[in-house]
Each structure stands twice: as C-alpha cells, then as structure tokens.
Amino acid sequence: MSTIAYIVLWLALAVAALDRRYAARWSRRVAAGMIGCAWGMWAILLVRRALDAGHWPLSTRYEFALCWVWSTLAIYFLLEADRQRAIGWATVVAALLIATYALTRPASERAMTPLPPILRSVWLQLHVLTTVMGYAVLGVAAAAALAALSVGRQSSPEEHQATEIVERTMERMVALGLPWLTAAILTGAIWAEHAWGRYWGWDPKETWSLVTWLWYLLILHIAPLPRWRGRPLAWLVLAGYGLILFTFMGVPWLVRTVRLESLHGF
C-alpha cells in the first residue's frame, strides 16, 4: 500500500503541473484529491501496523519516515485551505523526498518486531512523536523558503504581496517548529535518564539534534532584523532543513561508516 500511495503522490504532482501550463482549475482539484487518497492510504497503513505490532508505529526509521510523510501532507491540506498553493506544492515535494527514503529502506527495517520493555516507555513515544511533528513543521518552513527563493521580489504589487505572505508563513513555521524540537530534546533526555541513567551523553544523534535546535533558535533571533529578512533568511531556513536531514539520514550512516558509539537505533 505504501508503494501505491507513493506512485499516486507522484501522479498528483504531474497532474498539478498542468495547472500552470493550461490554467485548468480541474487539474488542481484532481491533484488535491489524489494527494488525499495517498494520505489516507498511509494513514490506513500506519493504523494497521500499530494494531498488528501492539504499539505506535514509531519504532523504526521506516515507520518514523512514514509518520513524517503523513504529518507533512496533513499540513499541506491546511495550506491548500489557506490558498497558499506555492508553499503547498513545495510541501508535497518535501514529502516525496522523505517517502522515497522510506521506500528504499531494507526489509529488515520495514519488518514489524516486538518492542523490548525499555522501548515501551511513554517518554520514548513522546520523544519520537514530538520529533516527527517538529520535522514535519520545519519541512514546511523549508518548502516556504524554497517558494520564496523561486518567486523572488516581483515588480507588481500583487506578486510582492504574495512573496511577503510566503515569507511570513516561513517565519511562523519556524516559530512553530522550534517548540516541537525543544519538546523532543526534553522528552528524549528524560527517557535517557530512565533507560541509561543519564540525561545527556553527547551521543552523535544528541549532538546534531542540539546543533539543529541552536540553528533554528538563531533563525528566530535574527528574523526580525531587516538585513536578514527575505532571501537571506530563506537560505538559512533551507540550511536548517539540511541539518534535519543530516541528523535523520546522515548521522546513522556516519555512525556505521566511522564506527562511532551511539545508543540511538535511528
């Protein structure tokens, strides 16, 4: 079902491309309906995995990525309802990036396995859930940054106003995403103390999560400054999403390649 949803999402993006070329309103509606179908299929898949496994579908990198995609597409519908379509379609592209990563996971990661008692902690579940939400919201911030960079400063008043709306949405998404990252770090620290007897151990994952958190905190602090508004801030937001992707995808690869010590499974 995940593969079918993935294909439907790609087809939706192709149908949406007709909207610009032919200005056909039906293509946008059909594409939104297809995205809704893909979102629904991923929801069914996640619920089935939760029921079959007996725990939230957040125990592997594969399940985490699927929840990330599902959450990102949920935010897409909010943007579509708010008529922020430029950000909406950039959000779909961000979701496709994560979905591609999920579907290329080996069978060992996609298999459902029983959780040991230490991983059944409510603090761990909250840690992973808040991380998913933070990543999804900040992914939308990156989509808004991409839309702002692609549009640029236009000459007409209408286009200039549209660009300002995109930039405001980008800043609001960062302001909304940072508390989720904060909650993820705090709940992770509490669970680490229960599981390993310490709140913080400078694990590679912990270190890069802190770097990412500090980066977005910096963005929030400099966002009001006139010299950083617009394109400079958009580049910083994109760089922040690059840190998120590296923390999620790059750090596990680095741990395996360099053989670093890490207590994180993903």
The pLDDT tens digits of the residues spanning 44-75 come to 999 998 888 878 888 888 999 999 999 999 99
- Chain centre distance of CA 238: 12
pLDDT for 14 = 80
Q: Is the pLDDT score of 243 beyond 90? A: yes
pLDDT band at 131 (very low <50, low <70, confident <90, very high): very high
Round the average pLDDT of the chain to a whole number and report it.
86
Q: Is the pLDDT score of 28 beyond 90? A: no
> Average pLDDT, stretch 204-219?
95
| C-alpha–C-alpha distance, residues 56 and 121, integer Å | 11
pLDDT for 240 = 97
pLDDT band at 90 (very low <50, low <70, confident <90, very high): confident
pLDDT band at 98 (very low <50, low <70, confident <90, very high): very high
Q: Which residues of 187-216 are buried (b: 16+ CB within 10 A; e: fewer)?
A: bbbbbbeeeeeeeeeebbbbebbeebbebb
Q: Is the dihedral of CA 217, 165, 149, 184 positive or negative?
A: positive
Domain residue spans of the chain: 1-115, 116-266
Q: What is the pTM of this model?
A: 0.91
